[in-house]
Amino acid sequence: MESAAIIRFTALGHENRLAVFRLLSRRYPDAVPAGEIARALGLKPNTLSAYLATLMQAGLVGQTRAGTSLKYRVEWDAVQGLIDFLFLDCCRGRPDLCPPLSRPAMQEAFVMPDTKLNVLFICSGNSARSIFAESILRQEAGDRFNAFSAGTRPQSELNPFAVELLAAKGHDTTPLRAKTQDEFRGSDAPVMDFVFTVCDRAANEECAAWEGQPITAHWGVADPVQAEGTDAEKRLAFQQAYGQLRNRIRAFTALPFETLDRASLQRRVDALESDAGDEVQA
């Protein structure tokens, strides 16, 4: 294990390779196309290829093919092995020196508290997708969850097609406004239990860890704001985004929170992106 650990530490001991690894960690369990990684990090394709090759040789990243596209994903068994090496070898297994935070923390029971759980949905603009998610969760299970949304861009505004659709589906749109995630990082901000990114751009951005170590996941949905064509075609794109998010949120609220530990709940939340289905909700 020592030789493998040295190779893996060396692979991560470069600023840009570490940035690639961090991006893929944020997107896990997604496999991310090389082109998207390059755009998000501002890297030339040949430079990124060299970084990915080093990470793959170290066993930290795996490669899959989807048609003509190559996609990359973190190999978490190798990462866990590296953590175990640090704890068992360097710290001699002494929890007073190197507390193994990952496994015990994730094995704790996630019990539904008496108060509502706080859920934050993030996208780049907070103009449509995250606003949809906030409104849907509030309508579907507002007695159990406090729903919030935010964007990563410093300035935005609600998209009129999004507001129109929400109103048509019976949501109260009066309290909705575009805001940034900075509003939820202050000392007086509510501590989040869940943080979900609903667009790839927001998930690819590096940001500070959230206070309280909430369960996080990426539920990528195509941006309806980018839809082109007639107004009818644009409204269809918003309808599809709304339907995908509604399916995932309904599946999320149906999870047996009282019987799952944090590790099990994290896996179930991760799986919702592919398991919840994408049909349009009427």
Instruction: Assign residue 33 the CATH number of its domain.
Output: 1.10.10.10
Amino acid at 162: A
Crossing angle (nearest 10°) for helices 2-12 and 15-27: 100
Could you write out the DSSP letters of every residue in 6-46?
HHHHHHHSSHHHHHHHHHHHHHTTS-EEHHHHHHHHT--HH
Rg (CA), the chain: 20
Cβ count within 10 A of residue 62: 17
Q: Print the domain residue range for 59.
A: 2-93
Amino acid at 161: F
Residues 87 and 151 in one domain: no
| Rounded CA separation 78/61 (Å) | 9
| Model confidence, pTM | 0.75
Q: Is the pLDDT of residue 282 over 50?
A: no
Residues 52-75 pLDDT 10s: 999 999 999 999 998 888 999 999
Residues 6+ apart with CB under 8 A from 257: 110, 111, 112, 117, 265
Instruction: For residue 266, report the phi and psi dihedrals to the nearest 5 degrees.
Output: -60, -45
For the chain, the domain total comes to 2
Residues 46 and 136 in one domain: no
Residues 26 and 130 in one domain: no
- Name the DSSP letter for residue 61: E
User: Which range is least confidently modeled, 90-99, 112-121, 235-244?
Assistant: 90-99
SS3 265: helix
Residues 1-36 pLDDT 10s: 678 889 999 999 999 999 999 999 988 888 999 999
Mean pLDDT score of the chain, rounded to an integer? 86
Residues 271 and 137 in one domain: yes
Q: Report whether 133 contacts 104 (CB < 8 A).
A: no
| Rounded CA separation 282/269 (Å) | 24
Residues 211-225 pLDDT 10s: 877 898 899 899 999
Instruction: For residue 147, report the phi and psi dihedrals to the nearest 5 degrees.
Output: -100, 135
